[in-house]
Amino acid sequence: MLAEVRALSTTMPSDEFFLARQPILGRDQHLVAYELLFRAAGEHDDARLTDGAAATAAVISHASQLGLEQVVGNKLAFVNVDEDVLMADYVRFLPPNKVILEILETVKPTEPLLARVAELKRLGFKFALDDVVHHSEEVDKLLDLVDVVKVDLQGVTPDVLGHLAISLRKSGKKLLAEKVETQQEFRLCMELGFDFFQGYYFARPVILSGRKITPSEMVILYLLELINSDADDAMIETAVKRDPLISLNLLRLVNGRAAGPDSRIESVAEALTQLGRKQLRRWLQILMFAAPGSKVELNSPLLQLATTRGKLLELMSLQVRPGDVIGAERAFTAGIMSLADALFSMPMADILDNVELAADVRAALLARTGDLGAMLNLVERLEKADTGRQFTGALRKLDLTSKQVREIELAAFNWVRELVHDAA
């Protein structure tokens, strides 16, 4: 079995692949899983999606290096599998309680394959059927054995989608809409009874004409501006106290970290001292993503994506410019602010009119220029597994390797996972 893993993983050297992690949401718009995609790197100018066998072999053979817990936290991982993987013994190295094996559309439902899927189900594995665009005889043969059916929205027209959803729902299986790119597509799939959604529709800005920044949002932006301009402690404390909800959230935050009831902090001044300016800035940036007056919901996909971008850019910046802590802070700001237009439903330029940011951060957010812009562009491509020639060229300009990028990703995923855990 180990020899089998080694043989397959030679197609993807341990330091020469990229990891893409794409969120899967439930009907409540909370994260339930991630699909993991692996792309070859190294000498290939056009990094390509490896075949299913090599991709899954990489997951297994580098399990100690990647660690599914570190990559997906307490969520499930959807992992692509083809016939070679399904029939191989090494697939059993994957933890059945953490993965859903996604049967690629190229797999033919032969008798031996159906028997193998049934065997793996008895061992506790769950399955999804990938890229379904019509209800065929081959789909029917696999339907009884799978738990989730993934429908490719880019492969069907809206009128066909309705008939397909009705047909598949009769099977009692969970339906997952993939490649959902707009809010309109999401709403249609909700109406059709889909259970899960994969795509970046939640991160696409829907600009609302005449939308104004609310008073609470203005307070947060004003506080960020005070910190960025190095205002004195008294000014920051006064600004926090003007908004009771921000004061309450601040006290919740610091007391959540406190050792016990004897160390409870009751004053805003004490809370600000304990937190420090660096952490205050980050907390305010995260607080932007909470509805006014509510607790920060770290299971929000938009917030998780924004905080992950922030940490990715911070760590990339430190890799590109070691020791430049101030530059790394600006990089974090560029990452987390990059989704402000989706958050506020306003053009980015209008949002930036309300907050003072460093010139390189502003250039990255508005035009993806400069080193921060290049890093942000890299991260956006990585999210979509778009790691072709332009991606690898940008990596070379920043003098980053695939191994460094993957290590940065894992560190960022772990940081966000701990952030979610601490806030629970």
Q: What is the pLDDT of residue 2?
A: 39
Total Cβ atoms within 10 A of residue 43: 7
Most confident residue range from 105-119, 245-259, 406-420: 105-119
Same domain as 147, residue 264 = no
Total Cβ atoms within 10 A of residue 18: 22
Query: pLDDT band at residue 250, thresholds of 50, 70 and 90?
Result: confident
Same domain as 236, residue 101 = no
Q: What is the pLDDT of residue 152?
A: 94
Domain encompassing residue 155: 2-203
Same domain as 188, residue 47 = yes
Q: What is the 3-state secondary structure (H, E, C) of 62-83?
A: CHHHHCHHHHHCCCEEEEEECH
Q: What is the pLDDT of residue 11?
A: 45
* C-alpha to C-alpha distance for 22 and 38, rounded to whole angstroms: 11
Query: pLDDT band at residue 383, thresholds of 50, 70 and 90?
Result: very high
Q: What is the pLDDT of residue 253?
A: 78
**End residue of a domain, out of 147, 171, 203:** 203
Task: Return the residue matching tokens 């094996």.
Answer: 101
Q: What is the pLDDT of residue 402?
A: 86
Same domain as 418, residue 308 = yes
Same domain as 215, residue 194 = no
Of 231, 247, 325, nearest to 287 by C-alpha is 247
Same domain as 303, residue 373 = yes
Q: What is the domain-level CATH number for residue 9?
A: 3.20.20.450
Mean pLDDT, residues 55-65: 59
Select the more confidently predicted residue: 397 or 49. Answer: 397
Same domain as 238, residue 103 = no
Q: What is the pLDDT of residue 44?
A: 47
Q: What is the domain-level CATH number for residue 256?
A: 1.10.3210
**End residue of a domain, out of 149, 170, 203:** 203
**End residue of a domain, out of 203, 225, 246:** 203
| 301 pLDDT more than 80 | yes
What percent of the chain lies above the pLDDT cut of 70?
85
Q: 171-185, pLDDT tens digit by residue?
A: 999 999 999 999 999
Same domain as 224, residue 101 = no
The DSSP H or E segment spanning 32 is strand 31-40
pTM score, whole prediction: 0.87
Total domains in the chain come to 2
CB of 137 closer than 8 Å to CB of 109: no
* C-alpha to C-alpha distance for 111 and 109, rounded to whole angstroms: 7
Q: 131-173, pLDDT tens digit by residue?
A: 998 888 889 999 999 999 999 999 999 889 999 999 999 999 9
